[in-house]
Amino acid sequence: MSRSRWRKVEDTWSCALHGRILSLRQDATHLYYQASFSEQLVEPLTPPFSAPGSKIDSLPEDDDTEALIHHYLNLRPDLTKLYEQWSNVDANFKKKAPRFAGVRILRQDAWEALVGFICSSNNNIIRISQMMEKLCSHYGPLVGYIGVTPYHDMPSPIILADPKVESQLRQLGFGYRAKYLYQTAVQICHGHDDGWLDNLRNPESPIMGQKVAAAGEMQPGGRAGYRVAHEQLLALQGVGPKVADCVCLMGLGWGEAVPVDTHVWQIAQRDYKFGKGKHSSLTKATYDAVGDRFRSLWGKEAGWAHSVLFTADLRVFSERLSAKIDVDTVKVEAESLGPDAAATSAPVIGTKIEITETKIKREFLEEEGHDGSVSSKTVSRGKRRKKM
């Protein structure tokens, strides 16, 4: 959401991801993709891999892009079944959700989600995206170009743990979030072991190539692993309950995480009887109560259901805006929909996506840019970037 690094050019969305530039486009029946690999910045994949220095042709069977897309877009869960389940237990969901079928929670990289949501505090979508853009272009590895536009990946925490970074980010317009990002990077690099963040992940939703493991019993407050992850994240600078839950949900695979932001708080008051008596204001206790309520109502994937309602609400809001306000319609829509415009106009952006068909077919093979608009390079998986 939000802090998404995806960029749209005409009808195609592109982003540097896992050492490649991934481009997506969809029509009524298919999702099309194209991947352009960097020769020098290929991510290590599953541990036992090809010998260093060996080159592999970009044959389809060697390309994990399709697996990456399936993973990233979280295409496995049966949405029809989930929607049915949520509708059966919640009349409000049943009423609001049907128009928004197809919304999925992306499986983002945990570190990227953390950085993005730290930037999101008391901020607007447009600026959050610009900040992520700046962060990557100034500190992240260059993966390649589309036309003359460079695409950078996320900078690793160690890059941001440099003492100079805080003032530099201030200079770049990050405001008080400059300190949060720097301090969080320091905490992660010097206060925790390697892999600490990713180890907070839901074992039922492992990163690509890892095996699934059981995550334990569901409780009103969520599974034990979720509660641990949430608590650990809270110790980071600039991370409060809302940001922690966003990272848990979008970055760590904990479906029961329910981020309660201002919008969700409005929904909770309007449709779920919050806002009175004991829970008249959004204190920590109320925050937890809202999460518990939604978890007991919707279950293990409460965060997903909540995102559907959230998206529904934003949509209605934007429709009201464009109906009542007679200004540049395009502009109004772009601003009010923000990253969740994904649900209507784009296959991917922000944290949620909508796909009319999950069938994916290959549009291009990796080769030199068709019309010069996309530059591609031969896949080279032998070279591994130093792990960081």
Partner DNA sequence: TCCATACCTGGGAT
Partner DNA sequence: AATCCCAGGTATG
Catalytic residues: 242
Cα separations (Å) of 4 from 132, 293, 335? 7, 29, 14
Contacts to DNA from residues 348-387, by CB under 7 A: 350-351
126: contact with DNA by CB under 7 A: yes
Distance, in Å, from the CA atom of 202 to the CA atom of 200, rounded to the nearest integer, reads 7
Q: Where are the alpha helices (DSSP H) in the chain?
A: 65-72, 79-89, 91-96, 110-119, 125-139, 157-160, 165-171, 177-191, 224-234, 241-246, 262-271, 284-298, 302-324, 329-337, 342-345
Phi, psi of 4 (to 5 degrees): -65, 145
CB nearer to DNA: give 59 or 234.
234
Contacts to DNA from residues 145-174, by CB under 7 A: 170, 173-174
**Smallest distance from the beta carbon of 264 to DNA, in angstroms?**
8
Burial of 61 (0-12, 13-18, 19+ CB in 10 A): exposed
Which residue is associated with the tokens 């079928």? 101
CA 243 to chain centre: 12
CB nearer to DNA: give 176 or 196.
176
Give the CA count within 13 Å in the CB-facing half-sphere of 103: 29
114: contact with DNA by CB under 7 A: no
Cβ pair 208, 17 in contact under 8 A: no
127: contact with DNA by CB under 7 A: yes
29: contact with DNA by CB under 7 A: no
**Smallest distance from the beta carbon of 328 to DNA, in angstroms?**
9
Pick the binder of DNA from 25, 71, 107, 242 (CB under 7 A): 242
251: contact with DNA by CB under 7 A: no
Pick the binder of DNA from 284, 324, 386, 387 (CB under 7 A): 284
| Selection from 199, 221, 219 nearest residue 210 by Cα | 199
What mask, x for binding DNA by CB under 7 A, covers residues 31 to 70? ----------------------------------------
CB nearer to DNA: give 187 or 375.
187
**Smallest distance from the beta carbon of 311 to DNA, in angstroms?**
8
Pick the binder of DNA from 29, 46, 80, 122 (CB under 7 A): 122
Q: Which residues bind to DNA, rule: CB under 7 A?
A: 1-2, 120-127, 170, 173-177, 179, 234, 236-244, 246, 259, 261-263, 280-281, 283-286, 310, 325, 327, 331, 335, 338-340, 350-351
